[in-house]
Structure 1
Amino acid sequence: MDVIVECCAGLDVGKKQVQACVRGPDGAGRRRSEVRTFDTFTGDLEVLARWMASEGVTQVAMEATGPYWWPVWHVLEEAGFELLLVNSRHVKILPGRKTDVGDAAWLAELLEHGLLRGSFVPPERVRRLRDLTRYRKKLTQTHTAECQRIHKNLENAGIKLDSVASDVLGVSGRAMLRALLAGERDPEVLADLAKGTLRRKIPELQRALHGRFADHHGILIGIILDHIEHLEASIAALDAQIDAVIDEPDPQEESPIPFGRARDRLDTIPGVAKRAAEVIIAEIGTDMSRFPTPGHLASWAGMCPGNNITGGKNRSGRTTKGNMWLRDVLVQCAWSAARTRDTYLAAQFWRLSRRIGKKKAAMAVGHSILVAAWHILTNDVDYDDLGADWFARNVNDDHRRDRAIRNLHELGYRVTLEKVA
């Protein structure tokens, strides 16, 4: 088999050690291998980088092993190597491996023959943004869980505040909670803390605030409320830091579109808000050259059905695993888009939901949003809505006729067709 990469290396990365195999010419027309083991402390990884550079290594391959490959990647990236992060599933299906060949040596051998396909690893700035947006989502999920605990403890105490106030943790709700924590139990006094339009419901509030609020309820709710406020401060700090990363200049001009402009353009898609646009940028970046077509991006994200062909028939298949962070935000955006008025995405959702159900329809709309994002970032343009009547204008007349007949049959009508002259 032809040698594609003259001098390369394969790495078997673990938590405490990394095994490196360098393959290159030996001067006699043959290929040689040398294997060394290094600790994963930063200083040892720098020694690894210097050794591979002295051997003339140009490309390095490693498998994605949890979080352990991150520090190795960072050090070697700074050293200027061309890096490939390989999916272990793709390596295992390649034939020809001998049982006595180590992981590092096998990766190096595959790499020198050009048989490895690298996974998408975004640039350093995108990775920083990704760390921030992912942690913000974790804190937001924790915030939601703590809010639910407030509701649960109030219900346990017989306080039905959520039956009257739409937001228990709004300004009025928090004032009442703080008063309860301070020892106030009189429903009239508590209800009088209502602000704005909620004051119209003072009689209902008085009934809702009459309960069995005990001391242990106050202890639990006090701890939870303090935690909620701490989480809100942390989320606000992350929002500010994300804005700073989005707005910082790109002196090396690695991004074809400035992050700020990309966020504004993605924000024009129905259902995609500013924070959702930030997550999309953090997961895929703004350089779409790594994804030749929208289909490649959708497949990588896990937003398209699996390939399941049996007996020449294309059968229904589950979506692939993909990127769960991106998939989650796209489905959330799809639900938001379904509530918009006179848009293509809303029309697509309600048209599909009648046939395949709302959950699958949301996945399909999420796919459409991702395809739109690819075109927006590739061409540096705003979203151009096709309109809610796009399907009516473009669906085949025979299909429209058959659907109308089927709908009338479901309503109990018998239809006779007669051609209008």
Structure 2
Amino acid sequence: MHKHGLIKGSFIPPRNIRELRDLMRYKTKLVSVRSSEKNRIQNSLTVSNIMISNIVSDSFGKSASTIIKYAMEHPDEIDTDYTSFLHKSMLHKANEINMSMQGTISQEQASKMNVCFNHLSYVEICISQIDEAIFLIAKDFKSQIELFATIPSITTKSATAIISEIGVDM
């Protein structure tokens, strides 16, 4: 049947769609790596009996990260008041945060967390570089992305991901 043209060949998208697909899939892997590093840091905090994640909505937000890094650098300071590290919207949780930080970070856990934070920072840079590359290719499909984004719950990012997988000639 194929010999006589009765079976349609596989869809091979144009080069720019293939490149966009490759970048989008790589970004997904980088986001997964970022999540893994955050989980490792959270595990180290749990092992150290530090439960700041139970109090703050984002353990990797500015205030929480500053507190965690301070605790890593000063493991011998047991009764530290972390109120000065808090953003003013978090001041009402100061007592709870101070109580959640009563654990002790061992040197081994601090070393591991330091590596994880460094890797996390590097992965964030990589993700932003991939986003720039995706944006450059996605400019070719601006009108199609905008059209997709008119569908409820489809964002520009998800529209770009859909186009990277199925192309624009549907």
- 1:29-88: CA deviations, max 9, x gaps? xxxxxxxxxxxxxxxxxxxxxxxxxxxxxxxxxxxxxxxxxxxxxxxxxxxxxxxxxxxx
* Other-structure match for 1:221: 113
**Hey, what's the Cα distance between the residues in 1 that align with 2:138 and 2:165?**
13
Matches within 5 A, 1:95-174: 111-174=2-65
* Other-structure match for 2:161: 279
* Other-structure match for 1:264: 146
- Give the unaligned 5+ runs of structure 2: none
* Other-structure match for 1:335: none
Give the TM-score normalised by the residue count of structure 1.
0.39
Higher-Rg structure is: 1
**Hey, what's the Cα distance between the residues in 2 that align with 1:190 and 1:221?**
19
**Hey, what's the Cα distance between the residues in 1 that align with 2:6 and 2:146?**
40
**Hey, what's the Cα distance between the residues in 1 that align with 2:135 and 2:35?**
23
1:176–1:191: 8 Å Cα contact kept in structure 2?
A: no
Structure 1 counterpart SS, 2:12: coil
Give the TM-score normalised by the residue count of structure 2.
0.92
Structure 2 counterpart SS, 1:181: helix
Q: Quote how far apart the aligned CAs of 1:181 are.
A: 2.5
Structure 2 counterpart SS, 1:121: coil
Q: Quote how far apart the aligned CAs of 1:115 are.
A: 4.9
Matched residues, number = 169
**Hey, what's the Cα distance between the residues in 1 that align with 2:3 and 2:10?**
17
Instruction: Give me the CA root mean square deviation.
Output: 1.6
Give the aligned residue type for 2:18. R
1:132–1:238: 8 Å Cα contact kept in structure 2?
A: yes
Per the alignment, do residues 171 and 226 of structure 1 end up closer, same or farther by CA in structure 2, a change over 3 Å counting? Answer: same
1:181–1:218: 8 Å Cα contact kept in structure 2?
A: yes
In the alignment, structure 1 residue 179 sits paired with structure 2 residue 61: no
Percent identity for Structure 1 against Structure 2 = 27
Q: Quote how far apart the aligned CAs of 1:233 are.
A: 0.9
**Hey, what's the Cα distance between the residues in 2 that align with 1:130 and 1:178?**
37
Q: Quote how far apart the aligned CAs of 1:113 are.
A: 2.7
In the alignment, structure 1 residue 212 sits paired with structure 2 residue 104: yes
Q: Quote how far apart the aligned CAs of 1:227 are.
A: 1.0
2:72–2:105: 8 Å Cα contact kept in structure 1?
A: no
User: Of the candidates 199, 202, 208, which is equivalent to residue 91 of structure 2?
Assistant: 199
**Hey, what's the Cα distance between the residues in 2 that align with 1:182 and 1:157?**
14
* Higher-strand-fraction structure: 1
Q: Quote how far apart the aligned CAs of 1:117 are.
A: 3.1
1:139–1:231: 8 Å Cα contact kept in structure 2?
A: yes
2:145–2:160: 8 Å Cα contact kept in structure 1?
A: yes
Q: Quote how far apart the aligned CAs of 1:161 are.
A: 0.5
Q: Quote how far apart the aligned CAs of 1:201 are.
A: 0.7
In the alignment, structure 1 residue 237 sits paired with structure 2 residue 119: no
Per the alignment, do residues 186 and 197 of structure 1 end up closer, same or farther by CA in structure 2, a change over 3 Å counting? Answer: farther
Structure 2 counterpart SS, 1:216: helix
Give the aligned residue type for 2:20. L
Q: Quote how far apart the aligned CAs of 1:114 are.
A: 2.6
Q: Quote how far apart the aligned CAs of 1:190 are.
A: 3.2
Q: Quote how far apart the aligned CAs of 1:187 are.
A: 4.6
* Higher-helix-fraction structure: 2
Give the aligned residue type for 1:228. L
Give the aligned residue type for 2:88. G
Relative contact order (alpha carbons < 8 A, sep ≥ 6): 1 or 2 greater?
2
1:179–1:190: 8 Å Cα contact kept in structure 2?
A: no
Structure 2 counterpart SS, 1:192: helix
